Amino acid sequence: MRSVRARAALGATVVVAVALIGAGLAVLLVLRANLTDQAGLQAEVAAREVAGQLALDVPVHQLDLPDAEEHPVQVIDEDGRLVAVSEDLVAITGTDTDRVKPQVSVLPTSAGTDDDGGGDRHGGEDRGDDDANVGTPARGEVSADDPDFTNGTATVDGDTADYRFASVSATTGAGVTLTVHAGAPLATEQRAVGSVRRAMLIGLPVMLLIVAAVTWLMTRRALRPVEGIRAEMSAITASEDLSRRVPEPGSRDEIARLARTTNETLTALEASVDRQRRFVADASHELRSPIASLRTQLEVGAAHPELLDVPGAVTDTVRLQALAADLLLLARLDAGERPGSTRLDIGALVHEEVSQRTGDRIPVAVSVPPSEPLEVTGSRSQLARVIGNLLDNAERHAESSVAVSVCTERGGVVVAVGDDGPGVPEPESERIFERFVRLDDARSRDEGGAGLGLAIARDVARRHHGTLTVTRSPEGGARFELRLPARPDPGD
């Protein structure tokens, strides 16, 4: 079962089968119970009719018993003897006795008037009380309790069938208690239950086949876009063409969202691969110049030692070392390296970086509040690299002044580096943070940087949950603002 469609169809079929079987059993049980109760009610009515006759002192041989096939009847006395039974009853089970031949033919009757109608039932003289019940025979009664019900069989004229029996007690006028067993056929119940059972046995497989087929078709239709996405992704993998996109269905369901997310992932992957390719190409180009220059100088020095330009070779080596360090840091940042959690005083870090810059052509003015807390959390080396890159950029473009200031603002720490150079055109305010981008195209690469300093600075700022933006400084040049979240007070 490797197919989702097969598993879905099987699962739906099993669920529907369990539900239908449970519902069918419940229907059968309820139907059987209702029909059995109806048969019991009919048996009770027949038993009470016979018990009523006994309560009226009708002799047992004169009882009006119903047809044995419809309602087989037995009358049993207190001693368990059969005193009356339906005609044509050959055999019976489920009652107090399985006898079908009466054992007692005459029962005592209640005391009453003589056959000629004279005399006193109490043997006394006629006192002339016209209101007395003289000459009225005593009457028995039928039990008002709920009858007992049992299931059994009865054979009438050679035909055996199932019956529901009801047992009702009756007391004659002579005080004799008799039990009447009357039955009602269960053939209707059996036919109805059998018909429903057969219908279920025939309909259930058909219903399950329909459910399985419909589920298979619906699942196949629902998963058709998924197959299209899979096929397109397979083609993209084989062709390595990240510009292709998977088809997006017009629906607004989960599959459409999957397709959109897949295309967004492909777009991000394509952009990442393009950046990587440009990075490799630009890095190769940037490395080629100092390496070629250094090789040329060494080859000339090897052939003509007196012409060896040692300062130039050292300069190219330093430039190559710095470029290699920048590329290595970018590779670590792209690999997801997380900054440390060292507690730093950003003001002290700025003073330290500025104090180490002894070869700058323009002095750097530093403005740091002496008593204000300026603590942040992060990597000391990476943040020092950001400050150094911003100062290098300002020194490269400034005409006469470079200033750096540190302050707190809206729960964060702001490090601002400004100069009085030409500034950054507003349309280029975001482009300058891209890798290997240089706006001073008129300069030679020997005088300018490789275009990695600002890109590294923004990447480090973002990994410290901060921002790096550029605006125009009051002196007319560029003003770079590094905003970092302040370290929370341990007492908060």
pLDDT tens-digit series, residues 257-278: 888 999 999 998 888 888 778 7
443: domain range?
340-485
Q: Would you place residue 26 in the very low, low, confident or very high pLDDT band (cuts 50, 70, 90)?
A: very high
For residue 228, is it within any domain? no
| Residue that wins the pLDDT comparison between 100 and 450 | 100
332 and 344 belong to one structural domain = no
Query: What's the DSSP call for residue 137?
Result: P
Does residue 12 sit in the same domain as residue 151? Answer: yes
For residue 162, the cross-strand partners are: 153
CA distance 135 to 133: 6
Same domain, yes or no, for 356 and 480? yes
Q: Is residue 10 a part of any domain in this protein? A: yes
186 occurs within a structural domain: yes
Q: Is residue 313 domain-resident?
A: yes
The pTM for the full model equals 0.51
Give the β-pairing of 342-345 and 159-171. Answer: unpaired
Half-sphere exposure of 27 (CA within 13 A, CB side): 14
Q: What is the CATH number of the domain that holds 311?
A: 1.10.287
Q: Which of 174, 193, 212 is the last residue of a domain?
A: 193
**Final residue of a domain: which of 320, 337, 354?**
337
Residue 483 carries which side chain, given as an amino acid letter? R
Residue 219 lies in a domain: no
Same domain (yes/no): 187, 83:
yes
Domain at 434, CATH number: 3.30.565.10
Q: Do the beta carbons of residue 180 and residue 43 sit within 8 Å?
A: no
Q: Is the pLDDT of residue 441 over 90?
A: no
Task: Kindly state whether residues 374 and 354 are assigned to the same domain.
Answer: yes
Higher per-residue pLDDT: 449 or 162: 162
Residues 367 and 421 in one domain: yes
User: Do 188 and 276 belong to one domain?
Assistant: no
Residue 151 lies in a domain: yes
pLDDT band at 121 (very low <50, low <70, confident <90, very high): very low
DSSP string covering 149-178: EEEEEEEETTEEEEEEEEEEEEE-TTS-EE
- Whether residues 324 and 356 share a domain: the answer is no
pLDDT tens, residue by residue, 351-379: 999 999 888 889 999 998 877 778 899 99
Residue 17 has pLDDT above 70, yes or no: yes
Note whether residue 217 is domain-resident: no
Q: Quick check: 403 and 367 in contact, CB under 8 A?
A: yes
**Whether 437 and 344 share a structural domain:** yes
Distance CA 162, CA 1 (A): 49
415, containing H or E segment: strand 412-419
Domain count, the chain: 3
Q: Which residue has the tokens 């449970």?
A: 22
pLDDT bracket for residue 338 (50, 70, 90)? confident
Please report whether residue 172 resides in a domain: yes
Domain termination site, one of 317, 337, 357: 337
Residue 82 near residue 105 (C-beta atoms within 8 A): no
Distance from C-alpha of 116 to C-alpha of 120, rounded to nearest angstrom: 12
Q: Where is average pLDDT lowest: 22-26, 129-133, 238-242?
A: 129-133
* Whole-number average pLDDT of the chain: 83
* Among the listed residues 179, 166, 168, the one whose alpha carbon sits nearest the alpha carbon of residue 71: 166
Q: Could you read off the pLDDT of 382-403 as tens digits, one per residue?
A: 999 999 999 999 998 899 999 9
Q: Are 308 and 300 in contact (CB under 8 A)?
A: yes
Same domain, 62 and 147: yes
Same-domain pairing of 307 and 355: no
Do 140 and 251 lie in one domain? The reply is no
d(CA 470, CA 419): 12
